[in-house]
């Protein structure tokens, strides 16, 4: 039975990739919102992680996003690509290694206007901050393949 599920998940990821349909686990969702409901605009405007609220929410790329204020919600809906984190909110260091790893909201950086999140102090400090350019380059290359693959399949490989 387990083998069947694994094969089915791989087949689904390949089908989604080939059709361009919504990717499996494209966004890191914790609870009911991307990045645990943290306001991705606030990283840019306030300069720190800020919990959003379901009162100020939007749908983007098939996922729910929460914001701390109506103003941040408006900024996001005007230009969601500007504020959405790299790699769907999955760990930047993990993406550079071909994996989808859940992130921690307080491990972040904005590089050239793009929000990057990481999963642990080691991933953030020892990998991302130590060699930001390489992590981003590898993450961008890997993301083209892994965005359409479920986290479970990536972990099994």
CB proximity list for 50: less than 8 A, separation 6 or greater: 38, 39, 42, 43, 68
Q: pLDDT (tens digit, 9 = 90+) per residue, 19-58?
A: 334 456 899 999 999 999 999 999 999 999 999 999 999 9
Q: pLDDT (tens digit, 9 = 90+) per residue, 4-15?
A: 333 333 333 333
Q: Please, what sign has the CA dihedral across residues 93, 96, 99, 105?
A: positive
Among 66, 130, 127, 49, CA closest to 95: 127
Residue ranges of the domains in the chain? 26-82, 85-157
CB 26 within 8 A of CB 61: yes
pTM of the model: 0.85
Q: What is the mean pLDDT of the chain?
A: 87
CB 96 within 8 A of CB 135: yes
Q: pLDDT (tens digit, 9 = 90+) per residue, 64-81?
A: 999 999 999 999 999 999
For 93, phi and psi rounded to 5 degrees? -65, -40
Give the bridge partners for 60, in sequence order: 63
CB 89 within 8 A of CB 27: yes
Rg (CA), the chain: 16
> Tokens for 67?
């914001």
């Amino acid at each position: 039975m387990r083998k069947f599920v694994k094969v089915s998940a791989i087949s689904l990821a390949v089908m989604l990739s080939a059709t361009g349909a919504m990717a499996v686990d494209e966004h890191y969702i914790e609870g009911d919102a991307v990045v645990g409901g943290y306001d991705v605009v606030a990283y840019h405007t306030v300069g720190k992680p800020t919990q959003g609220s379901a009162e100020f929410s939007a749908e983007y790329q098939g996922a729910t996003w929460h914001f701390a204020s109506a103003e941040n919600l408006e900024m996001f809906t005007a230009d969601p690509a500007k504020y959405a984190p790299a790699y769907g909110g999955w760990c930047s260091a993990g993406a550079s290694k071909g994996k989808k790893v859940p992130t921690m909201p307080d491990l972040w950086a904005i590089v050239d206007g793009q929000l990057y999140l990481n999963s642990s102090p080691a991933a953030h400090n020892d990998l991302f901050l130590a060699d930001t350019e390489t992590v981003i380059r590898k993450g961008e290359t890997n993301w083209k393949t892994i965005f359409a693959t479920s986290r479970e399949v990536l972990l099994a490989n």
